[in-house]
Amino acid sequence: MTVLLSVLAFFLLLTVLILIHEWGHFIAARKSGVIVEEFGFGFPPRAKKLFKQGGTVFTLNWIPFGGFVRLKGENASNEKERKANGSFGSVPIYKRIIILIGGVFMNFVLAITLLTVGFSVGQWIPTYFTIDEMQTAAEEGIIDLKLGVLIQEVVSGGSAAQVGVPSKSVLVSVDGIEVDVPDDVPALQEGKRYVVYTVRSGADLSEEAEYTVPLVDGKSGVSLIPFPLELSAPRHDVLTALKLAFRETWAISWQTVKGIGGLFKSLASTGRVPEGIAGIVGIAQLTYSSVQEGLMTYLRLVALLSLSLAVLNILPFPALDGGRLVFVLAELITRRPINRRFELMTNALGFLFLISLILLITFYDVVRLFS
């Protein structure tokens, strides 16, 4: 039952993200006076013509997720077709810009809406990249935080390693005195020949043990860092939740840009897709995990992917909305249209590259799935 629900949730996720993106283009085009020739549910080949409304044919297609819009004159190869009444190229440049960013705008709206609900009703914890950021947020009442001390590394051959102190475990106390931050430890070890460490380890940090650790010059041979031992968030009012949603949008968008940069850097240097970059198979795995954890976890995944889709599409790469935007901005600057054949060829090559990249990422998804 969980597998079936996960499959449905996966298709719903992709369909919603893509359809709301295309709906943004659709509404912007309609409001700008551009004829939308087709709004497709799913991807071609066409299965059935559903109905026609306002000059737009609504169709059902065989590939059962996502969708697309086809604008009049969007791929016209000559100036007459490009400038025909109601075509994409016939409207002013500012309207074309609005149409091109309409999809990205709707993905941001979806993400911010879900994040606002999550930070209020769902008590979601915002994304933080440092302990200092967490402590500041705790002082502001954004999160509830209790810090602990993590034994990040046990030095090989050191006294802690000799008595079996495990790395990646939480140091609860030294000689029975509880420690909250790494700076507590040196003072408790000063002038002693040995101390008793109480540590918690295991996947859920439930395994507690004590180790008598000899000291050399007051040191035990461990590397300590602050660790969020307990982390939660209260319900926030809508205004606070909205502010957190905008902050989260910026944080995740910036991480997405860095991730894409890391992808191309890794491909250029090693030819491999780095960890943390997921394709269709990886997204399906994440969907399965989120469904098991509940509705709010699933909705956070939808918000995350909506942001990623928005950032990806606005990048100035051929075939993406951002790439097409570059040609429109070039026309604005030069005051004359870019050669249509060059534009169409560039977008076609960009599309082929993106398809190849998706296949490569999916290949690594499958490899990791069975490794």
Whether the CB-CB separation of 194 and 212 falls below 8 Å is answered with: yes
Write the CA distances from 34 to 29, 43, 78, 287, integer angstroms.
Answer: 5, 22, 18, 37
pLDDT of res. 266: 83
Residue 91 near residue 216 (C-beta atoms within 8 A): no
CB 91 within 8 Å of CB 84 = no
Identify the pLDDT of residue 310. Answer: 94
pLDDT at residue 2, as a whole number: 62
User: Which pLDDT score is estimated for 118?
Assistant: 96
Instruction: In whole angstroms, give the CA distance from residue 252 to residue 110.
Output: 14
8 Å CB contact between 285 and 305: no
What's the confidence (pLDDT) of residue 1?
54
Q: Are 198 and 178 in contact (CB under 8 A)?
A: no
Looking at this protein, which amino acid is placed at residue 281? V
Q: List every span in the chain annotated with CATH 2.30.42.10.
A: 144-232
Q: Is the peptide bond before 45 cis (omega within 30 degrees of 0)?
A: yes
Angstrom distance (rounded) from CA 77 to CA 226: 60
State pTM to two decimals: 0.85
Q: Within 13 Å, how many C-alpha atoms sit on residue 249's CB side? A: 23
Residues of the chain with pLDDT under 50: none
Residue closest to 240 by CA, chosen among 106, 109, 127, 141: 141
- The distance in angstroms from the start CA to the end CA of the chain is 26
Dihedral pair phi/psi, residue 205, rounded to 5°: 55, 35
Res 3: pLDDT: 67
Contact 342, 288 (CB under 8 A): no
- Taking alpha carbons only, the member of 36, 78, 29, 71 closest to residue 54 is 36
E strands, the chain, are 36-53, 56-71, 144-154, 169-174, 177-178, 194-201, 207-214, 222-232
Structure-block tokens of residue 135: 């402590």
Per CATH, domain 144-232 is 2.30.42.10 = yes
Neighbours of 290 (CB within 10 A): 22
Are 96 and 31 in contact by the 8 Å Cβ rule? The answer is no
The residue with tokens 């969708």 is 67
Structural contact between residues 365 and 280, judged by C-beta atoms closer than 8 angstroms: yes
